[in-house]
Amino acid sequence: MTIDFDHAHALDAADPLAPMRDRFHLPEGVIYLDGNSLGPLPRATVARQKNMLERQWGDGLIRSWNDADWIGAPERIGGKIARLIGAKPHEVLIADSVSVNIFKLLVAAAQLSPDRPQILSEAGNFHTDLHIASGAAELLPNQRLDVVERSAIEDAIGGETNIALLTHVHYKTAERFDMAALTAQARDAGARVLWDLSHSVGAVPLDLNGCGAELAVGCGYKYLNGGPGAPAFLYVAESLQDRLVSPLCGWFGHARPFAFEDAYEPAPGITRFQAGTPPMLAMDALEGGIASFDGVEMDTVWAKSVQLFDLFARLAERYCEQLTCVSPTDPDRRGSHISFRFDHAYELTQALIARGIIGDFRAPDIIRFGLTPLYLRHEDIVRAVAAMAKILAEESWRDPRFAERGRVT
């Protein structure tokens, strides 16, 4: 089997994002197709972290809370994410994890409409979203969690709906909700939507303000390249900020954190959604990851994502007929990864990794590839599909070592 590389080489030669690849540390001999799960290390982050460790922490010590503006990092870095999601800088805050931020915003927003008993989400949503929503519903009086199929969300939003927790781009299939339409429908019904942007930010163009979105969360370690376990972010529309009170009333969310007052008074604006002391090493790495997008427009990123998807889908359909693509072909209905169903998806994923092609597996039968335009080449897609076709043709995925599972799959 021979796959023609000429078309891929022509696309790479004309790629306006080609110089961005040099911003990342990419191991020799590896094609990295898992940036939708963990972004690679930006080269500039190494120097940033060295400065943070040796100068800001090592020499500056506790003085760096003021001298290096550690205290302002959650708002400052949030403001840098704002341009990637179509928000105002003072509407975005870096804090905690996606799970914690879902809890904070879900509980705070649900308390605005206690007479509406329904928290709504979708079956097959990323499971932490459902677990957090279930826990929140149990804690809140007169609230229940209703879970319906993704295709039934539109019909399920109604007079009882308090808040819908929706993942904008589905983590398995890459299917994308129409944010503007669902936000408008919820608003017309007197409800709100909390959007999970974990597979959207840095991957697809977003316009939260333009869509009328009020609440959102997202992670920093996927397309934003902020490092493993990077802090998450939350978005609260300016008009809603001072109406919400976080259920986690930590001292960094206090109006006067260094007055050491017993009684809690929430800070004005987005700052009230902080809780504990920010993790500054991780904050710094996240800021470095976001800097990977400096000078880059999301429309350019998305245009290349569409090219990468179309190339991958076309080649896989031709050379990997054992796989079934489960991602929408319409670019307006999907995010920036492509997923296939295969009964032995885990073994196939491991066989690819053994060849230096890193995608990932999602139980029970999905193999998933992140299409990350800042550093992926079209040539990488062709090489990945060629390797996968060879593995499938030879059935080398049947090697028993590829069925062995670690704690992380």
Give the mean model confidence (pLDDT) for residues 334-357: 98
Separation of first and last alpha carbons in the chain: 30
- Kindly report the CA angle at 150 between 148 and 156, in degrees rounded to 5? 50
Rounded CA separation 269/58 (Å): 33
Nearest to 339 by CA among 310, 361, 314: 361
Architecture of domain 6-17+297-403 in this structure: Alpha-Beta Complex (3.90)
Please state at what angle helix 98-110 crosses helix 127-139, rounded to 10 degrees.
40
Structure-derived torsion over alpha carbons of residues 176, 282, 87, 216, reported in degrees to the nearest 10: 50
Residue-range domain boundaries for the chain? 6-17+297-403, 48-293
pTM comes to 0.97
Residue 174 CB: number of other CB atoms within 10 A? 26
The band of 4, judged by pLDDT with boundaries at 50, 70 and 90, is confident
Residues 6+ apart with CB under 8 A from 299: 205
Q: What is the pLDDT of residue 66?
A: 98
The per-residue pLDDT for range 256-281, each reduced to its tens digit, is: 999 999 999 999 999 999 999 999 99
Q: What is the pLDDT of residue 91?
A: 99
Structure tokens at 107: 């509980």
Tell me the percentage of the chain whose pLDDT exceeds 90.
99
Rounded CA separation 236/270 (Å): 7
pLDDT exceeds 90 at position 200: yes
The per-residue pLDDT for range 245-259, each reduced to its tens digit, is: 999 999 999 999 999
Determine contact, residues 225/84, Cβ cutoff 8 Å. no
The upper half-sphere exposure of residue 132, i.e. CA atoms within 13 Å in the direction of its Cβ, equals 21
The per-residue pLDDT for range 132-190, each reduced to its tens digit, is: 999 999 999 999 999 999 999 999 999 999 999 999 999 999 999 999 999 999 999 99
The band of 386, judged by pLDDT with boundaries at 50, 70 and 90, is very high
The per-residue pLDDT for range 299-313, each reduced to its tens digit, is: 999 999 999 999 999
Architecture of domain 48-293 in this structure: 3-Layer(aba) Sandwich (3.40)
Residues 6+ apart with CB under 8 A from 35: 222, 223, 225, 370, 372, 375, 376
Residues noted as catalytic: 126, 196, 221-222, 368
The band of 1, judged by pLDDT with boundaries at 50, 70 and 90, is low
